[in-house]
Structure 1
Amino acid sequence: MRTFSNADQVAARKIKEGIEMKVLVWSGKLMMTQVSFKKGAVGDLHSHPHEQISYVVEGELTYTVGEEKYHMKAGSVVYVPSNVKHQVEALADAVLLDVFTPIREDYLPHPT
């Protein structure tokens, strides 16, 4: 459980080339992460049992959810239902805030 953080003080984890994630807060059934993309980075097409909301803090992306493609820029928000395949492509450097319910156990920091 982490109920308070400052994104500048959270260590980033490399997801793949051009994509880094910070797990900001989590408790109960909610989790928030910050994901940074370099222009041209493409996330893997994937699905998971968690519901997800993604908010674009800065930049520009193409966000695919199921068969729908969304052109997203700062201020855009998208909902991703449970078990629906989705993918992100960065059209410019970008930052997303992702909220998950329930929490992504696979994202929790490993004990040291």
Structure 2
Amino acid sequence: MTNPFVKTFPAVDAGNHVTRQVLSDSPELMVVSFTFAEGGVGSRHNHPHIQSTYVQSGRFEFFIGDDTFEVGPGDSFVIPSLAFHGCRVLEPGVLIDTFTPRRDDFL
């Protein structure tokens, strides 16, 4: 019997030594895992979604607007709607991002 509440999404190559996998979604909310290999880069970009990022593992240098900061396991922060942001890997790892509303471009 299949569970209507559990969906499985494939991992996809997001480029720049990054793999993206949607973990769960609804129109109002989406949770996504990003796995960064050595040399991984999250290119600077912006979007209308509010984003919350949790560092599951690894170390990253993040850029939000004109601010730069380092994060590691257990750290979390919010990126406001339309803020230009990106990151680069200091140590390979995994970021868990939550978006509201859902990032339809990831489906």
For the criterion TM > 0.5, the same-fold answer is yes
Note if 1:47 corresponds to 2:40: no
Q: What is the TM-score when the length of structure 1 is the normalising length?
A: 0.86
Point out the structure with the larger strand share. 2
Alignment of 1:2-13 (within 5 A): 3-4=5-6, 10-13=9-12
Number of residue pairs the alignment of both structures matches: 104
Q: Equivalent residue for 2:60? A: 61
What's the offset of the Cα at 1:68? 1.1
Unaligned runs of 5+ in 2: none
Q: Equivalent residue for 2:88? A: 89
What's the offset of the Cα at 1:44? 1.1
Unaligned runs of 5+ in 1: none
Percent of aligned positions that are identical = 32
Runs of 4+ in structure 1 displaced over 2 angstroms?
2-5
RMSD of the alignment, in Å? 1.5
Q: Residue type of the partner of 2:37?
A: K
Q: Equivalent residue for 1:105? A: 104
Note if 1:24 corresponds to 2:23: yes
What's the offset of the Cα at 1:37? 0.3
- 1:1-34: CA deviations, max 9, x gaps? x8435xxx64211010310000010014010000
Q: Equivalent residue for 2:32? A: 33
Q: What is the TM-score when the length of structure 2 is the normalising length?
A: 0.90
Deviates most, 10-19 or 20-29: 10-19
